[in-house]
Amino acid sequence: MKKSIVLIVSSLLGGFALFAQENVRVDTASNPNLRSPEVTAEGKVAFRIHAPQANKVSISGNLLRDQKFGLSEDAETVPSHLDLINNDGIWTITLEGVKPDLYSYNLIIDGEETVDRNNAFVARDVKNVSNVLLVPGEASAFFAPRDVPHGAVQSVWYKSGFNGKERRMTVYLPAGYDESDKRYPVLYLLHGMGGDETAWSELGRAVQILDNMTAEGLIEPMIVVMPNGNIAREAAPGFDSRAFEQPEFHLEHTMDGTFETWFGDIISYVNDRYRTLDGPGEQAIAGLSMGGFHSLYISLSKPETFGYVGLFSAATIPSDSNEIYRNRPDKLKNIFDKTSPLMYIAVGKDDFIYSHTQELRRELDSLGLPYIYNESGGGHEWTNWRQYLIDFLPRLFRK
Amino acid sequence: MKKSIVLIVSSLLGGFALFAQENVRVDTASNPNLRSPEVTAEGKVAFRIHAPQANKVSISGNLLRDQKFGLSEDAETVPSHLDLINNDGIWTITLEGVKPDLYSYNLIIDGEETVDRNNAFVARDVKNVSNVLLVPGEASAFFAPRDVPHGAVQSVWYKSGFNGKERRMTVYLPAGYDESDKRYPVLYLLHGMGGDETAWSELGRAVQILDNMTAEGLIEPMIVVMPNGNIAREAAPGFDSRAFEQPEFHLEHTMDGTFETWFGDIISYVNDRYRTLDGPGEQAIAGLSMGGFHSLYISLSKPETFGYVGLFSAATIPSDSNEIYRNRPDKLKNIFDKTSPLMYIAVGKDDFIYSHTQELRRELDSLGLPYIYNESGGGHEWTNWRQYLIDFLPRLFRK
C-alpha cells in the first residue's frame, strides 16, 4: 500500500502533495526548505533564509535581548535587529548565548517585516504575526508538550449580563477529570490588554505548564479558567461576529469596572458546568498586566471568594472611574479580615509598571497586610509572566 | 480612567502598546499598517503592501483560480501568481470576480514567498503558513462566526490501544449541550493526509458551519468528533511530544489498517464521556481524501455501527495491504444488509482521485446498492470539502 501511494505521489503530482490539504509548497532549488531555526548547541540558534535578490536581511524580536552582537562587551543596549550574512543567496546568522525560553521573532527583508517561511510555528500577538521558537533548557522545561497525561482544553461560551451576548473563554480540565467524580479547585487566569481568551494557552504555554507540573506532582490538579477581559469583543479575532475584521486595540470598557462587575457570570457558569470546589481555599484569581488589575479588584469586590490572588506585572494604577476601584485600603483590610488570602505580587525591575507595584506594596505594608513579593529582572513580557505562573501554581490550594 | 491610560500610553510608550503582549508593531510612515486585503465591492478584493525596495511583488494562492488577469478571455490556465503594481513603494492589485469562499494566499516579494503582514489571519497547512481571506456571499455564508448560540469545542486526549499513547482529538458539542440531559447523535469527521485533528475546525470551518446551520434549524444538533488520523504523530504539530519539530508528511501507518483497527478506542471514549446516542441511525462517519478512505473501511469493518457514511473526494484506492481492505464487495453487501446506510459520495470533476470514485460507484451499481452522488466542479480542495459538508449535514439523523 505504501508503495502504491508513493508511486501515485510521484506519477500524479510530482511529489509531496497527495491527499494533502491545499497549497503545499514544493521544495525546489529556487525555493528550498531550509532548516530554520536550528538549535545547534546549547544557546546556539541558526537562522537561514533563501533571498538571492535581497539587499539586506535582518532578524528582530525578543530573542535578541541577550545579544551584544557587534556591540561592545559592556553595551547596555538591546539591538532592535541584527543583520544576516549573504552566502550565495542564502542568508544566515547564528546567535549564541540564547537563554532557554520561548521567543518570538520576525525576519526583515529589505526593510519589510515578514516571517521565517521555513518555520511553520507562528503566533499572532494583537495584530502581528511572528514566528515562535523554543530554546530548550531548565527555564523552558515546562513549555513543550511531553508524553504525560494531558488535560482537556475547551472553548466555551457563557452569557454575559453586561449586554446579553455570549462571550468565549478557555477552560482547562486536568488529566483524569473524566475518570472520577472528584471535585477540583479553580484558578481564574486573566490576560493583558490586547490579549484574549487564547493568550495564556498560546504564548503563555499555560496548558503545557499545567500538564507537565501536574504530572510531576508539583501542583494540585486544578481547573483553570481563561476568560476574555476585553469587553469590546466577545471572543478572539476570528471567533466572534466581527469575523475576519483585522484586530485592533479596543480600549472601551477594558478598565472601567465592566469586566469586574460582570465577573460573577463567569464564576456561576463554571460552578454550574464543572465539578468545582468553591470555597475561598479552593478558588484563586491571577492575571498579567491589565489582568492583574482586574484580579485585584475582582478579589476585593468579592471578599469571601478567593483565597489566592496573583498579580503579575499588574497594572495597579489608582483609579476612581468606578466604585469598584475606590477606597482600596478599606477593601484590602476587608478581604484580609474575611479570607486572609495568599497575595502574590511579581514584577520585573525594568517594567514600566514597576512604580505602581511599589505603591501597592507600600499600601499593604502600611496596613500591615502580608504578601509574597517576587522581583525579577526584565520588563513587561511573557518571559516573566510564564515564570511567575510557574512560581505561583505550586503555592495554590495547599494552605 | 480612560484618559489616564491614554496619557500613560502617550508618555511612557509613545503609542499603542500599553499592557499589550510583546512585540506590537508600531504604525509608522516607513512601516505603515495598510488595509489589506480589502473587499471593496462584490467579488472585488484589493491587496496592498509597502515594499519600496522590491523589484517585483506577486500574489499566489487558490484565490487566483477564477482570475484571467492579463490572459485572453477563453484562457484555460489558472495563473500561479499575479503581479502587483508599484506606486511609490506601495504595491497594489485589485482582483475582480472573486467568488464567495475562504481562500489562502501568499505574497511573493522578489521571488520569495511570504505573508501579507497587514493581515493578522493566517493558517498552517502541513508546513506552509498562508494568509486566509473570507469573501462573503451565499456560498461562504456559513463560514463566518455569527451572534448565534455557540457550541463548545474541546481538545481531548484518548488512549490508543495501538501503542498505548494518548492521542488528541477535537470534539464539538452543540449549543445547549450543558443545559439539559439530552443525548445527541454523533458524526465522526476525518481529515486528509497531511491534516490533523485541527483541520476540519480550522480550514474546514466546521465549527462555524455547525453553529450557523444548527441555529437556522437546517441540521440536527449533533456531537462532532474530529480525531487525528495520522498515526505517526499523537497530535497536531506543536501539541505532541515532538513539540516544535517542523511538520512533515508522515506516511507510516496512514493507510495500512492501523487507524481503522484502533478506531473503536475513539468510539468508546466518546460514548463513555459524552451523552451520545449510539444506534446506527444516530452515528455517522465522513471524511475527506484519506479520511474518506478511512471512513469507508471503518464503516465496513463495523457493519452495525454507522447509518450514514460520507465520502468526500475519498481516496478509495484499492488495497490489499490489510484484511480490512479486502473483499470490499462482500463487505459492502454486508453493511447494506445490516444497517442500509445512507452513503454519500462527492467528488470534483478535476479531482485526481476521480477515477477511483467512479470505480467505487461501478462496484456499488453492480451490487445494486444505493448511494447519493454529488459531482461538483473543481478538484481536491477545501472549497469542495466545505460545500460537501454543508450538503451532507442536513441529511443526517433524519431518516
pLDDT of residue B254: 85
Query: Out of A22, A115, A289, whose CB is closest to B114?
Result: A115
pLDDT higher than 80, residue A8: no
Residue with grid cell 528550498, as numbered in its chain: A32
pLDDT higher than 50, residue B108: yes
pLDDT higher than 70, residue A13: no
Return the closest-CA partner of residue B122 out of A114, A113, A123, A248: A123
The C-alpha cell at B172 is 464539538
- Condensed to tens digits (0 to 9), the pLDDT of residues A258-295 reads 999 999 999 999 999 999 999 999 999 999 999 999 99
- Condensed to tens digits (0 to 9), the pLDDT of residues B261-281 reads 999 999 999 999 999 999 999
Q: Which of A15-29, A74-88, A274-288, B45-59 has the lowest mean pLDDT?
A: A15-29
8-state DSSP, B193? T
B33: contact with A, CB 8 A cutoff: yes
- Condensed to tens digits (0 to 9), the pLDDT of residues A206-227 reads 999 999 999 999 999 999 999 9
The C-alpha cell at A240 is 466572534
With bands split at pLDDT 50, 70 and 90, how would you rate the model's confidence at B8? very low
ipTM of the complex: 0.91
Please state the rounded mean pLDDT for residues B57-75. 76
Task: Decide if B261 contacts B236 (C-beta within 8 A).
Answer: no
Closest chain B residue to A54, measured at CA: B110
pLDDT of residue B189: 98
pLDDT of residue A75: 58
pLDDT higher than 80, residue B31: no
- Condensed to tens digits (0 to 9), the pLDDT of residues B285-335 reads 999 999 999 999 999 999 999 999 999 999 998 888 899 999 999 999 999
Residues 44-103 of B with CB under 8 A from A: 49-55, 61-62
Most A-contacting residue of B6, B198, B212, B244 (CB-CB within 10 A), to test interface: B244
Q: Which helix (H) or strand (E) holds B299?
A: helix B290-301
pLDDT of residue B125: 85
Closest-CA distance of chain B to residue A399, Å: 31
Please state the rounded mean pLDDT for residues A100-122. 94
> CA B256 → CA A5, B262, B303, B325, distances in Å?
11, 12, 20, 9
A322/B155 touch (CB, cutoff 8 Å), yes or no: no
> CA B147 → CA A165, B187, B264, distances in Å?
8, 24, 36
pLDDT of residue B249: 77
Query: Out of B146, B168, B195, whose CB is closest to A241?
Result: B146
pLDDT higher than 80, residue A125: yes
- Condensed to tens digits (0 to 9), the pLDDT of residues A308-335 reads 999 999 999 888 889 999 999 999 999 9
The residues with which B123 forms a beta bridge, in sequence order, are B130
Average per-residue pLDDT for chain A: 90
B69 burial via Cβ count (<10 Å: 0-12, 13-18, 19+): middle
List the beta strands (DSSP E) in B1-127.
38-41, 44-50, 57-61, 81-83, 85-87, 90-95, 101-109, 112-114, 122-125
The C-alpha cell at A42 is 546549547
Query: Out of A111, A124, A381, whose CB is closest to B53?
Result: A111
A104/B255 touch (CB, cutoff 8 Å), yes or no: no
With bands split at pLDDT 50, 70 and 90, how would you rate the model's confidence at B370? very high
Query: Out of B19, B319, B381, whose CB is closest to A315?
Result: B19
Comparing A246 with B248, the larger pLDDT belongs to: A246
- Condensed to tens digits (0 to 9), the pLDDT of residues B42-56 reads 899 999 999 999 999
The amino acid that residue A303 corresponds to is P
Average per-residue pLDDT for chain B: 90
Percent of chain A with pLDDT over 90: 78
Please state the rounded mean pLDDT for residues A180-200. 96
3-state class (DSSP) for residue B192: coil
With bands split at pLDDT 50, 70 and 90, how would you rate the model's confidence at A131? very high
- CA dihedral over A243, A247, A251, A257, signed as positive or negative: positive
pLDDT of residue A70: 55
Residues 309-348 of A with CB under 8 A from B: 315, 317, 319-322, 325
Please state the rounded mean pLDDT for residues B155-170. 96
Return the closest-CA partner of residue A59 out of A11, A91, A18, A27: A91
Closest chain B residue to A1, measured at CA: B321
Closest-CA distance of chain A to residue B285, Å: 18
Q: Which of A150-159, A242-251, B113-122 has the lowest mean pLDDT?
A: A242-251
Q: What is the spatial distance between Cα A280 and Cα A351, in angstroms, rounded to a whole number? A: 31
Q: What is the spatial distance between Cα A74 and Cα A77, in angstroms, rounded to a whole number? A: 9
Q: What is the spatial distance between Cα B381 and Cα B378, in angstroms, rounded to a whole number? A: 8
Please state the rounded mean pLDDT for residues A147-159. 97
pLDDT of residue A2: 39
pLDDT higher than 70, residue A1: no
B28: contact with A, CB 8 A cutoff: no
A243/B134 touch (CB, cutoff 8 Å), yes or no: yes
B2/A251 touch (CB, cutoff 8 Å), yes or no: yes
B192/A20 touch (CB, cutoff 8 Å), yes or no: yes
Please state the rounded mean pLDDT for residues A3-13. 35
- Condensed to tens digits (0 to 9), the pLDDT of residues A341-385 reads 999 999 999 999 999 999 999 999 999 999 999 999 999 999 999
Most B-contacting residue of A19, A25, A359 (CB-CB within 10 A), to test interface: A19
**Terminal C-alpha separation, chain A:** 59
State the Rg of chain B over Cα: 24
B125/A54 touch (CB, cutoff 8 Å), yes or no: no
Percent of chain B with pLDDT over 70: 89
Q: What is the spatial distance between Cα B25 and Cα B124, in angstroms, rounded to a whole number? A: 22
pLDDT higher than 70, residue A24: no
